[in-house]
């Protein structure tokens, strides 16, 4: 399976915190046991096809800078096959267990339903062989209902039922391919499921069509026997002015409205969280509290930019807090950390792809070690327990069993005069910083 593209780059191995090798893991020791589980099993790393192998390094002001061999000429069957082989060489050299893809990432460019289905089936046959020879597994698959011009007004929310039907064909085939390839999740990212102006938008119809579409996906999942998790990826805007999957709380409200809250979870992306005005850890904690935490797209944004820059994560503190909330939410079941991240346009060498992923993997791994240290230290949990201790005492138990009038009467009878108490925020921040920077 090895290709020439990464011939000069060795398989990445763990060498420890003191290693000077920039192409080695300093913190990601996949077999190290942390909180009773192997690090690989905690983090379940994946790399993606789209940013890593499909994006040519272009932006709105200029063309591609990468000049990968499979970017030259038409995206035909030969180019798509080369891209798939190079990708699996990359996944193997990173020594991570999983990968992710959109349907159009892995196939030749198609026109119309018949050609799309033929080229995608060809790609799935090849992926099955590559998985078998490499030992890599599929974390999740998805269908791209946003890039082609036909999806300019969305996929499942499109005003044209023919576009809706074309999207249904893509999702059916991608879901069945994910099932066949042993994928453990299926993601729906509504890249254009929103609006640019309300003047031409029937929001009720669009929401109902989206709700029906998602119910049909869940129905088909059960029909074919797919045991994986269906995931929605929240994002507030860009490319549309407003997207219906704005953030985790909005998605939960949508799921409740259409009877899907027991069937669908969320795939949370760090950069999408910050675009929505939240922290990464807030979105994870919200998903955990609502019982819909599923998986993670690991990346970061740029605080000087108001759009989705999809850079590799590089803040140990941010990932410490994120992993802490993942552990508090019960950890991953079918989900994992997928690097939905891309190197910069000026990072055009093959080795740059490794530097981006190795750095990101180590940042997440160090975040896990720090989160475990915070849990084992116990002070944060003790402060939180003390803050809410009143609810487990006699008065709190009485309040929990009364109606509104009863609670009011209790307050009057006991002539309560509650006083404010410290939340210990500065002490908490100091504890986090000390563990992040010195381990204690």
Q: Which sequence positions are flagged as catalytic?
A: 102, 105
What is the chain's alpha carbon radius of gyration, rounded to the nearest angstrom?
Answer: 24
Q: Which helix (H) or strand (E) holds 177?
A: helix 161-180
Other Cβ atoms closer than 10 A to 70: 21
Whole-angstrom CA distances from 84 to 81, 119, 164, 194, 349 are 5, 13, 29, 32, 18
Q: Which two tokens stand for residue 291?
A: 């019982």
- SS3 at position 99: strand
Rounded to the nearest 10 degrees, how much is the dihedral formed by the CA atoms of 98, 102, 106, 108?
180
Whole-angstrom CA distances from 129 to 11, 141, 182, 262, 335 are 21, 16, 12, 34, 23
Whole-angstrom CA distances from 198 to 149, 154, 210, 242, 394 are 21, 14, 17, 10, 52
- SS3 at position 13: coil
201 vs 194: CA distance, rounded Å: 9
Q: Which two tokens stand for residue 427?
A: 């002490």
CB-CB contact of 375 with 324 (8 Å): yes
Q: Where are the beta strands (DSSP E) in 228-358?
A: 229-232, 242-243, 264-269, 293-297, 337-339
> Could you tell me which of 23, 74, 84, 77 has the C-alpha nearest to residue 53?
84
């Amino acid at each position: 399976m090895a290709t020439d593209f990464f011939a000069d780059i060795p398989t990445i191995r763990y060498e420890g915190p003191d290693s000077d090798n920039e192409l080695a893991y300093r913190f990601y020791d996949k077999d190290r046991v942390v909180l009773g589980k192997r690090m690989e099993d905690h983090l379940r790393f994946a790399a993606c096809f789209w940013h890593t192998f499909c994006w040519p390094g272009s932006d709105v002001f200029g063309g591609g800078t990468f000049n990968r061999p499979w970017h030259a000429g038409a995206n035909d069957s030969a180019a798509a096959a080369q891209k798939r082989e190079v990708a699996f060489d990359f996944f193997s050299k990173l020594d991570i267990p999983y990968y992710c893809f959109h349907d159009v990432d892995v196939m030749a460019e198609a026109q119309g339903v018949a050609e799309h289905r033929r080229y995608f089936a060809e790609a799935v046959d090849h992926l099955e062989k590559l998985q078998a020879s490499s030992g890599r597994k599929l974390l999740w698959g998805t269908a791209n209902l946003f890039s082609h011009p036909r999806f300019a007004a969305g996929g499942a929310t499109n005003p044209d039922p023919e576009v809706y039907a074309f999207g249904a064909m893509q999702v059916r085939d991608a879901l069945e391919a994910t099932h066949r390839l042993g994928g453990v999740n299926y993601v729906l990212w509504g890249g254009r499921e929103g609006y640019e102006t309300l003047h031409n938008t029937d929001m009720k119809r669009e929401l109902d069509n989206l709700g029906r579409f998602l119910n049909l996906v869940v129905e088909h999942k059960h029909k074919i026997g797919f045991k994986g998790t269906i995931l929605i990826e929240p994002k507030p805007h860009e490319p549309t002015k407003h997207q219906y999957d704005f953030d985790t709380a909005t998605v939960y409200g949508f799921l409740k409205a259409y009877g899907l809250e027991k069937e669908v979870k969320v795939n949370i992306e760090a950069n999408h969280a910050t675009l929505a005005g939240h922290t990464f850890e807030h979105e994870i904690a919200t998903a955990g509290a609502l019982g819909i935490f599923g998986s993670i797209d690991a990346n970061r944004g740029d605080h000087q930019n108001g759009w989705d820059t999809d850079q590799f994560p590089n803040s140990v503190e941010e990932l410490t807090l994120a992993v802490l909330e993942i552990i508090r939410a019960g950890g991953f079941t079918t989900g994992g950390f997928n690097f939905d991240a891309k190197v910069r346009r000026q990072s055009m060498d093959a080795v740059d792809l490794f530097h981006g992923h190795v750095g990101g993997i180590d940042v997440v791994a160090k975040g896990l070690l720090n989160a475990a240290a915070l849990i084992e230290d116990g002070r944060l949990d003790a402060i939180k327990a003390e803050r809410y201790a009143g609810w487990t005492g006699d008065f709190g138990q009485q309040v929990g069993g009364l109606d509104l009038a009863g609670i009011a009467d209790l307050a009057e009878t006991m002539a309560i005069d509650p006083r404010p108490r410290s939340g210990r925020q500065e002490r908490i921040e100091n504890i986090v910083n000390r563990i992040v920077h010195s381990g204690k």
